[in-house]
Amino acid sequence: MMQQIIEEAESVLLHTYNRYQVVFDHGDGVKLYDIDGKEYLDFVSGIGVFALGYGNKAYNDALKNQIDKITHTSNYYYNVPAIEAAKAVKKASGMDRIFFTNSGAEAVEGALKAARKYAYLKDGRTDHEIIAMNHSFHGRTFGALSVTGTPKYREAFEPMIGNIRFADYNDLDSVKALITDKTCAVIMETIQGEGGIYPADEAFIKGVRALCDEHDILLILDEIQCGMGRSGYLFAWQEYGVKPDIMTTAKALGCGVPVGAFLMTEKVGQASLKAGDHGTTYGGNPLAGAAICEVFRQYEEKNLTEHVKEVGTYLYEKLEEVKASCPMIKDHRGKGLMQGLEFDREVAPVINKALENGVVLINAGTKIIRFLPPLVIEKEDVDAMIAVLKEAIKEL
Ligand SMILES: *Cc1c(COP(=O)(O)O)cnc(C)c1O
């Protein structure tokens, strides 16, 4: 049956992914089940989305209640769930103004537009430059792709939006060298995700913040993957004692409902996007708002960031042990429940074997295994994953 569905899928879907040969049907906590009833322990959470685990009754009920009321109005009117959601994100982040989108890439688009508008209102120029990072990932739409630091993702789609310069992540001098009187923003992930799980060095992120302050350049932090508690802090920058001028979030923000957002300080909010400058049909609809409110309610109820710190530390120790026992592993990086193991060769055989043995893992690039479990994962789940991982490494 599974094979037939996969063949059907390949006959109708545009082939933009090389998918794993599994059809998931439902989930329960940190377990997923395929349509044949086989159980899997999930260490991917749909790429950092399903932070609260599957089959979460209170979350499902919150959505069902909202569905029975209304799911969409339009941004030409107010709705209470979006206002409550905005208040929750503001409280969690300390940012002042929010714009809801439907995805991460759209949040990045909005952030870039806000930065350009801010600079335009300041000096009237239309040739502003943005500094982005090599190995970054910000999404697949043209603006987001233009600041994504993997040339092979961009090449066939050139020309990108203009005036983007790429610096090296964690190399402050390389950022400094690109600053001109036209620079309006620096955009980067607080922890690089797709690029291979690279956390910002403290000196680097503080240095970039200081450079931005010195030159009145906006710092945009992309927290789409590393935010929403994954690093052990609600937003990863909070650990460093820096604050962005503009921030993006998505993935776990709605825990399964497609939603993203970009946020900014009052200073940027007062001097950038105005009525007519930006919009969205769906963004911040009542269903998305209800999801976000319930997500934050449960984060608080479960004291989830503390839990992430504790289980994340445990995962870190266990992966250090795996690294020590395996010379093919070159490096181990990450924070909280966002970690990566870098091998000296391709990791696809390990991921395939783990899947066969009931553990879902994912790569970041071809040589790195990425660990992004639901944030509600427990230590015994880590133990179960590690046992399967050790066995799967023998495939190499
Ligand atoms: C996933 C991701 C995006 C893109 O989000 P989409 O919802 O897929 O558009 C942007 N930035 C980062 C850091 C991401 O991890």
CA 187 to ligand 1 centroid distance, Å: 13
Express as a percent the part of the chain with pLDDT over 70. 100
Pull the structure tokens for residue 65.
């209640």
Considering the domain 70-301 in this protein, what is its CATH number? 3.40.640.10
pTM for the whole structure: 0.98
Nearest by Cα to 131 from 236, 207, 231, 242: 207
Sign of the alpha-carbon dihedral angle for 206, 239, 185, 265: negative
CA 138 to ligand 1 centroid distance, Å: 5
Give me the count of residues in the chain.
396
Q: Tell the burial category of 113 from Cβ atoms under 10 Å away from its Cβ (0-12, 13-18, 19+).
A: middle
CB-ligand 1 contact for 268 (6 Å cutoff) = no
Kindly report, residue by residue over 303-356, the tens digit of the pLDDT. 999 999 999 999 999 999 999 999 999 999 999 999 999 999 999 999 999 999
CA 155 to ligand 1 centroid distance, Å: 19
The ligand 1 atom nearest the CA atom of 136: 13
Same fold, 2-55+303-393 and 70-301: no
What pLDDT score does 189 carry?
Answer: 98
Nearest by Cα to 262 from 102, 46, 132: 102
Return the domain boundaries, the chain. Answer: 2-55+303-393, 70-301
What pLDDT score does 178 carry?
Answer: 98
Does CATH place domain 2-55+303-393 in 3.90.1150.10?
A: yes
Neighbours of 300 (CB within 10 A): 13
What pLDDT score does 55 carry?
Answer: 96
Q: Cα separation of 34 and 17, whole Å?
A: 19
Backbone angles phi, psi at 243, to 5 degrees: -140, 135
What pLDDT score does 1 carry?
Answer: 85
Instruction: Give me the residues of the chain with pLDDT under 70, please.
Output: none
The ligand 1 atom nearest the CA atom of 103: 7
Please list, in sequence order, all residues whose beta carbon lies within 8 angstroms of the beta carbon of residue 170, skipping any fewer than 6 positions away: 198, 200, 201, 204
CB-ligand 1 contact for 222 (6 Å cutoff) = yes
Angle (nearest 5°) at CA 112 between 288 and 130? 150
CB-ligand 1 contact for 138 (6 Å cutoff) = yes
